[in-house]
Amino acid sequence: MTELLKNHVAGEWLAGAGEGVTLSDPVTGEALVRVSSEGLDLAHAFRFARDEAGAALRALTYGQRAARLAEIVKLLQAKRDDYYAIAIANSGTTRNDSAVDIDGGIFTLSYYAKLGASLGDVHALRDGNLSALSKDQSFSAQHVLTPTRGVALFINAFNFPSWGLWEKAAPALLSGVPVIVKPATATAWLTQRMVADVVDAGILPRGALSVICGGSAGLLDQIQAFDVVSFTGSAETAATLRAHPAFVARGARLNVEADSLNSAILCADAAPDTPVFQLFINEVAREMTVKSGQKCTAIRRAFVPENMLEAVVDALKTKLAKVAVGNPRNDAVRMGSLVSRAQYENVLAGIAALREEAMLAYDGSSAPLIDADATIAACIAPHLFVVNDPDNATLLHDLEVFGPVASVAPYRVVQNAGESGLPEAHAVALARRGQGSLVASIYSNDDAHLGRLALELADSHGRVHAVSPSVQQSQTGHGNVMPMSLHGGPGRAGGGEELGGLRALGFYHRRSAIQASATALEALAQITHLPAA
């Protein structure tokens, strides 16, 4: 029988009861490890993290906690090869795609280690300047930020077992808040291994970093008023979470990142013979295939001028035809598998649904898989759809197929159109049909035009990624989430915010206004002023 991975709670390694759930290689079907959280004393686990670990973390200054993050970075970097091996076996990703998750997580952790060092050896942060409350200015108010005296519970998705952990844990631990992470069961192995390495190295106070593998039953019942919960997953599950008494009655904080119908817009000036056209093609194809399209930020809808539709589809078909799909252990493979056969079936169902209102322009499944048995492997080739009437389409704007699937749709180019007066006004309206997205990318040869268009999209997107030939070499990619920038989005995307530099610390702090005399407020003079985020 395969190894049963242990949970780490209340500073101890504990095995869950029962047979557990078996994690399998999504390419070969081989059983890898088992996970179970059955029988854990969750109340004790949360109390220990909240009281013991929380007190120990808060006793450290921001600078000291930042130094601990830097130590974790060195540890994880030394063990990268182990993590790559787990990712290939458990997630079915190529080495390049594994890097997005593993190296991306380490980079984010390193960024917050450096950022935290700038906060210095203090235990609280000043937020803004003094505000006089009396005419003679003898009585004033100073806003301060102090770490919340609770636990940060992370309920994570299956697609980023490394980055999903560290992009949340870095600002939480830097803030002085203990972490309990519940990774998605299907890919929990990598998260559990990383937590184990950090715990065994003794870098953090006992119980500051916990991991619960297996089921999530009972976790939210432990959430108290000063705890915070960060969830990444479906909008349907998020709606269930929001109704829990932890948030409705006890007022705990909840951050959600959910479904997102992200867009890419080819601007009216980006004709096939201009430099930016190929940048658009490259990015759409890349976002369809990186991690087999299993990214919350992947491009799902590409909007192009009506007169360029045929050229765009032809160029994308040529690009996608070069994508070799199969076993990521084979160097010839550019795209590995989905995380499981269950996800494979979900993607097939989504493709079948899209075919009801869209034309399938490219179906890569005619090419055989490389070193993989199609009856076992969760491999699926890129699928590109065309929706000729996006105004009357519904699934295009409502259904996110979480795999290597995207749709191209034409928009009308009208000069001085709509409220904005931009020729891409119709494309903006179509992008907004997504009801709130994590990211939109826009492509033009005119930088000034991109700036105006970005503002039109900003109200309905957490991030707008503008690409012109001037940033061809420096732009970071539509789907790459950088720790300096906000990650999250309004509406359907969950209404949450993560990262964004020091902004991320706000979720794990409580803001309070201290109203006192000038003399009393002098006691706050040694508190670091929160730098611009």
Give residue 129's pLDDT.
Answer: 87
What the block records as the tokens of 322 is 């070069």
**Active-site residue, selected from the candidate residues 257, 283, 357, 456:** 257
Measured distance CA(49)–CA(51) in Å, rounded:
6
Is 522 an active-site residue?
A: no
Half-sphere exposure of 419 (CA within 13 A, CB side): 5
Residues 6+ apart with CB under 8 A from 125: 62, 119, 144, 145, 146, 505, 509, 527, 528, 529, 530
Q: What is the pLDDT of residue 417?
A: 64
Which of these, 5, 55, 52, lies nearest to 33 by C-alpha position?
Answer: 5
Q: How far apart are alpha carbons 475 and 500 in whole angstroms?
A: 17
Contact (CB, 8 A) for 443 and 266: yes
The pLDDT of residue 399: 96
Give, for 439, the enclosing helix (H) or strand (E). strand 437-443
**Residue 119 near residue 528 (C-beta atoms within 8 A):** yes
Would you state the pLDDT for residue 532?
59
Amino acid at 154: F
Q: How far is CA 111 from the centre of its chain?
A: 16
- Walk along the chain (533 residues) and give the pLDDT tens digit of each residue: 799 999 999 999 999 999 999 999 999 999 999 999 999 999 999 999 999 999 999 999 999 999 999 999 999 999 999 999 999 999 999 999 999 999 999 999 999 999 999 999 999 999 988 899 999 989 999 999 999 999 999 999 999 999 999 999 999 999 999 999 999 999 999 999 999 999 999 999 999 999 999 888 999 999 999 999 999 999 899 999 999 999 999 999 999 999 899 999 999 999 999 999 999 999 999 999 999 999 999 999 999 999 999 999 999 999 999 999 999 999 999 999 999 999 999 999 999 999 999 999 999 998 899 999 999 999 999 999 999 999 999 999 999 999 999 999 999 998 876 677 899 999 999 999 999 999 999 999 999 999 999 999 999 999 999 999 999 999 999 999 999 999 999 999 999 999 999 999 999 999 999 999 988 888 876 777 767 55
DSSP-assigned letter for residue 502:
G
Other CB atoms within 10 A of residue 406 CB:
26
CATH code that applies to domain 41-258+497-529: 3.40.605.10
Enter the tokens of residue 420.
């904005």
Closest by CA position to 256, among listed 508, 490, 2: 490
Q: Which of 167, 267, 283, 296 is catalytic?
A: 296
The ranges assigned to domains in the chain are 41-258+497-529, 263-482
Based on the residue annotation, tell me whether 379 is a catalytic residue of this protein: no
Q: Which residue has the tokens 């990318």?
A: 441
**CATH 3.50.50.60 describes domain 263-482:** no
- What is the DSSP annotation of 95-106? HHHHHHHHHHHH
Closest C-alpha to 93, from 262, 350, 289, 259 = 289
